[in-house]
Amino acid sequence: MLFIHEVATDHRIWHSQRDYFSHRYWVISIDVLGHGQTEWPPIELSIEREAFHVQRLLTQLGTGPAFIVGVSMGAAVAMRVALDAPALVRGLVLISPWHYPNSHVKNLVERLLRMKASRDMTDYMDLFLRYAMPSADVEPHLSKAELLRAIGSVQNPRAVVDAWTACLAFDVRNQLGQIQAPSLIVAGMNDLFTPPYLARSVAEELPIKELEIWEGNAHFPFLENHARFNRRLEAFILSRAE
């Protein structure tokens, strides 16, 4: 199982999944596009190049076909891997996905990048959480919002800009029909950052998929309701067992 994070976060957002799955599965959570402890040269600035590095990692580790789980930007990387190296992908789990940056996403990203112009990530995270975990969700999940804020505050601001630049150039419209790996798509009804209609658009193009829109959750359902997500992910994996 390979987990890929969202912009302005890193591998630590998957801690509940690591705790739940690591004693039964080989769990790999990575930092991508200059986040966390990684470095990212400008020449490598694309979702496609990140997908290539994921392919190389899985090949070097000898994992065989893997279940790839990604949220938002991470889902974009996962879809690209499935398109470019289908033999490495046993299943996809796409959380809050989009298959191209429509006007809504572009406008929000441009606002986020203006916020990033401040001296640190504080303004950026305030705006991001306003959309990714709106007020109706923050109160019952305050500790999760604070975890996201803490992780975001230590990311390299340049890497955040570079990652969003890569996202704005990503477009796999009319390509997802080529993906034969079974896919589970999970989105939150209250997500204002990537609203659930974007997940539905992704699902419409995928040949083999299950789509779930969760009431009461927003951009990070695996973090907001980790117990439900872990059970659902395990059920998806077991349903694909040979």
Q: Which region holds residue 211: left if phi is over 0, alpha if psi is between -120 and 50, else beta?
A: beta
For residues 74 and 137, which has the higher predicted lDDT (pLDDT)? 74
- pTM (two decimals): 0.95
Instruction: Please report, for the chain, the start and end positions of each structural domain, with discontinuous segments joined by +.
Output: 2-239
Report the alpha-carbon distance of residue 125 to residue 141 in Å, rounded: 16
> Which of 1, 46, 51, 7 minimizes the C-alpha distance to 220?
7
For residues 143 and 222, which has the higher predicted lDDT (pLDDT)? 222
Cα torsion 43, 45, 48, 51 to 10°: value is 100
Helix (H), strand (E) counts: the chain: 11, 6
For residues 47 and 118, which has the higher predicted lDDT (pLDDT)? 47
- The predicted pLDDT at position 118 comes to 60
Per residue in 215-236, is it b (16+ CB within 10 Å) or e — as a string? eebbbbbbbbbbeebbebbeeb
User: What is the distance in angstroms between the CA of the first residue and the CA of the last residue of the chain?
Assistant: 16
- The predicted pLDDT at position 83 comes to 98
| pLDDT tens-digit series, residues 143-179 | 899 999 999 999 998 899 999 999 999 999 999 999 9
Positive or negative, the Cα torsion across 151, 155, 157, 160? negative
Task: Indicate the CATH number for domain 2-239.
Answer: 3.40.50.1820
Of 13-27, 45-59, 106-120, which range is least confident? 106-120
| pLDDT tens-digit series, residues 203-212 | 999 999 999 9
Reported in sequence order, the residue ranges of the chain that DSSP labels E, i.e. its strands, are 2-4, 28-30, 66-71, 89-95, 183-188, 209-214
| pLDDT tens-digit series, residues 15-34 | 999 999 999 999 999 999 99
